[in-house]
Amino acid sequence: MAKLEFNFGLNETESTQPTEALSGYNFELELAATRLFPRKPIDRKATVPNAGSVNGLMQLVERDGTETSLVYGAEATTPTLYSWTGGDTSTAFTNVRTTTMASASMLRDTYWSLDDHLIITDLRKLTPLLNWNGTSASRHKTNLGGGVTTANTAITESPSGTYTVLSAAHGLVPGDLAFVVGAVPDALNGEHEVTNVPSAGAWVYTDTDSIGNSSTHGTTEKDVDLYAKYSIVHNNRLWLFNITTIEGGVKTENPHMVLASLFEDSESFDTVNRNGIATGNAAFFTLTPDLKEINGVALFNKQLIISTHDGALHRLSGLDAADYQFTTYYAGSAAVSEEATVNIGNDVIYMLRGGGIDLLGATDTSGDVRADDVSRWIPTTTKDLTESTAVYDQQNQKVFFFLPDKILVLFKDILATGGGSPWTVYETDLTDSDGSIFDTKGVRYMFRPTTTDQTIYFGDSDGNIYDLNGTGVGDNGSNIVVSRKTPLLDTTRQTILLGNIQYRRLGEFSCSLIFDWSSEYNTTQCDITLKGPSSTQTEVAYYNDAAYYENPATSNTRTDYYNEGFTFTGKVSKQNFSPAGRSDGYFMTYYSESTVQFQIDNINLPGAEF
Amino acid sequence: MTFLESINRMLRLATVMQWDDDDITSFSQTQHGATISLARQAIQHVTNDLIADRFLFPEKADSTITTADGTQKYTLASDFVRFEDKNNFFFQTDSGIPNSQFLSEYPGYEAALKKQVPKYASTTGTPQWYYFTDDQEIGIYPVPGSVLVYRYDYQKDVMPENESDSLPVQSEQMAYAYVDMATRIFSFLFTQQPIEGFEKDVIYLRAKAALMALNVKEPPSNRYGYSYNG
């Protein structure tokens, strides 16, 4: 008897094995597992108070384990950065910042361990660099002065910790960064975020209490506004990529620029001295070798890798500001999209033009070879893809490529062990006002707030936050549609097919086995109701209490063990089926729409040759 | 035992349905689509076999036709095989028109009527005769001019067609033997064994013998010849 099992995933080539799927979606894979089972449900966890598009999910886990989560509700009129405790109530969200936030921004975070805070960048470069320290969100200091100074006439502290700087025509607005230089006491000097502008001649900032009033007042200098698409911490520096600056009202785009902070100081940058001129631990800037826009950044094997748009991958080498430089991989190795490059623990994976998905490790050792294309099993699905957001689920060893209407899912462990396709596809009936919820602008692998479980959270354009590894009923109550089609299965004889489906009793639901006969222009299907555990009988205490050994004639009132045919959750069951039609071969598609987390062990197809 | 119940029994006997399989509740269920179709054919095969052996006969039934003003032709019951009486006739149930209580078959059938009354298909009047038309309907001459109800007795087909039809045997035991016969045919069809050896199949013949035995008041002796004492 030919037993059909489900070890591997989607294989759209002509070499599909019976253990793979020619097409389909929403079936899950697991290393060394042979069963057919659906992906986990998608739980809606919360909705941001302003119901704006979730354009960013961030999380700070401090050295002592304290965890805070941020959600960016990019509502059109009042885009707001919230801290979030994980609940679905208004009290679970706290507004932490609205100043200088742009509604189209897509915020991403990087952890700077030395000061226990997050640095927040914007893929759209509309919101300047921000900083989250666990309690407040502020402008991230950059030590980049604008060069235009105005003299201060006084700095007064009132109330304690609030400092008003009198400086004529300072030109500042709330949310700006400004330097105070030359004031006495010295503690008044430094880079401050403007919290209030009472008049054209005064501005206010907050700092530590009781510094006191100035005796020498110094000058005010407005900062350069710094925007970056990407950030990463590498070799004790904060690196920023794809830069925009606004200085004196003049916006300068430098999409090919990389800024490296001062060694072990994330708040000091230099846009004047480039690598080689700057030396040692100094901050510096550098440009991409091909001078093209940076569209991806990742760390792999202690190496910093960047991708340039329509350019190539480049690897950073060197030890300090004097000799840092980028080395280029082969032309055409570049990634597409803004977030399709991701570190997957043992490698970097990225999407190429045309939809190919490559591994940097193979590219590094072999160059432009087919072997590095991990999407070679799914050429149809990935053909002509140009946009994707990739995220790595370390706990479940999966890589997700979010597309506008689906997610491509790569099972890293199956890829590593080989034997068949490591791919599946997730689809969902859940939609927001823009279409599928998978068309997300904010996705992150993070801890479920206040827990130690890690998962993938993502948001939709209506402010909803979802857990991709949910535990609820279906996709927020909706059915999960599972489809899985076999390759062409040849049969030894043209007889009526009498097969059986072996499953576990986890919940009653209906499925269909659809047969597409090879020599008939016809499909037929078997609709089968797979049973659940008994609804009237609780699970039997089988071997672990007195129920089994007690004397039924005296003390044992439980009869369930001896009941003939009792059922319990997970019991192995079988049902036969016989589809109308016969042929010398067929494609068989499993199809179901259900909220049940079912398990089908195998499908026996007598006569099929495999 | 209904046709549906017989199919369930057959599919169980043939182990097509086992384990968690529930009984089918409709012939249109697709889980066992191919085997349901085959099982229905097997029941019908047995029915034909038993009719051919003159073990089964068409059953007596009656029905009516209701005339309408100006309508010449009427259809008979869908399970009509033949009229019950040799000299068959229709009779009016309410005697609405005293001189049209019976319709006899026109002597010489429709062919004669065509010659003798060229406008027989449109001439209205008090119905007196019926005849079979070329399309297997009943024509009435003269064509009725009003609503009349005529009853007729006929022999109906015993071939099970619908899920709720009963097998044409008198007891459950007979039905079991009936299904045993059909199951054997099902097995031959399902496994594609050569059907030419089927008439010698021992299992089928034993089931058929059981059905025959159950049809008499007392089972026949299972031994032949005399019994001697001492």
Q: What is the mean pLDDT of residues A471-490?
A: 96
Kind and range of the H or E run holding A510? strand A509-517
Distance between CA A90 and CA A103 in Å, rounded? 21
pLDDT at residue A347 greater than cutoff 90? no
Q: Which residues pair with B69 in a beta bridge?
A: none
How many beta-carbon pairs under 8 angstroms link A with B? 61
Please list every residue in chain A whose beta carbon sits closer than 8 Å to the beta carbon of residue B31: 526-528, 575-578
Q: What is the mean pLDDT of residues A349-363?
A: 82
Of B19, B33, B190, the CB nearest to A575: B19
Place of tokens 């205490």: A541
Kind and range of the H or E run holding A218? strand A216-223
Q: How confident is the model at residue A356 (pLDDT cuts 50, 70, 90)?
A: confident
Instruction: For chain B, say whether A496 makes contact (Cβ under 8 Å).
Output: yes
Determine, for residues A496 and B190 on separate chains, whether the beta-carbon distance falls below 8 Å. yes
pLDDT of B226: 60
Determine, for residues B34 and A497 on separate chains, whether the beta-carbon distance falls below 8 Å. yes
Q: Residue B87, SS3?
A: coil
pLDDT of A273: 95
**Class of A3-41+479-533+569-604 in CATH:** mainly beta
| % of chain A surpassing 70 pLDDT | 93
Chain A's closest residue to B24, CA to CA, is A528
> If you write DSSP's letter for every residue of A156-217 in order, what string do you get?
EE-STTEEEEEETT----TT-EEEEEEEESGGG-EEEE--EEEETTEEEEE-STT----SEE
pLDDT of A563: 42
Chain A's closest residue to B191, CA to CA, is A495
Check: pTM over 0.95? Answer yes or no: no
The alpha carbon dihedral of A328, A332, A338, A340 has a sign of: negative
Q: Which CATH number is A145-223 given?
A: 2.40.30.20
- Average pLDDT value for chain A: 91
Q: What is chain B's pLDDT, residue by residue, as a tens digit (230 residues)?
A: 999 999 999 999 999 999 889 999 999 999 999 999 999 999 999 999 998 888 888 889 999 999 999 999 999 998 888 888 877 788 887 766 666 678 899 999 999 999 999 999 999 998 999 999 988 899 999 999 988 899 999 988 899 999 999 999 989 999 999 999 999 999 998 988 887 778 889 999 999 999 999 987 666 666 666 655 54
Please state, in angstroms and as integers, the Cα–Cα distance from residue B111 to each residue in A310, B106, B117, B122, following that order: 91, 10, 10, 16
Chain B residues within 8 angstroms (CB to CB) of chain A: 16-22, 29-35, 37-38, 190-192
B6 or A350, higher pLDDT: B6
pLDDT of B224: 62
Closest Cα in chain B, distance from residue A495 (Å): 7
pLDDT at residue A545 greater than cutoff 60? no
Fold identical between A3-41+479-533+569-604 and A145-223? no
Map out the domains of chain A as residue ranges: 3-41+479-533+569-604, 145-223
Token pair listed for B11? 């599919």
Nearest to A157 by CA among A197, A218, A198, A212: A212
Determine, for residues B30 and A529 on separate chains, whether the beta-carbon distance falls below 8 Å. no
pLDDT of A366: 62
For this complex, say whether ipTM is above 0.90: no
Distance between CA B45 and CA B182 in Å, rounded? 7
Q: Tens of pLDDT along A66-118? A: 999 999 999 999 999 999 999 999 899 999 999 999 999 999 999 999 999 99
Nearest to A71 by CA among A104, A89, A96, A42: A96
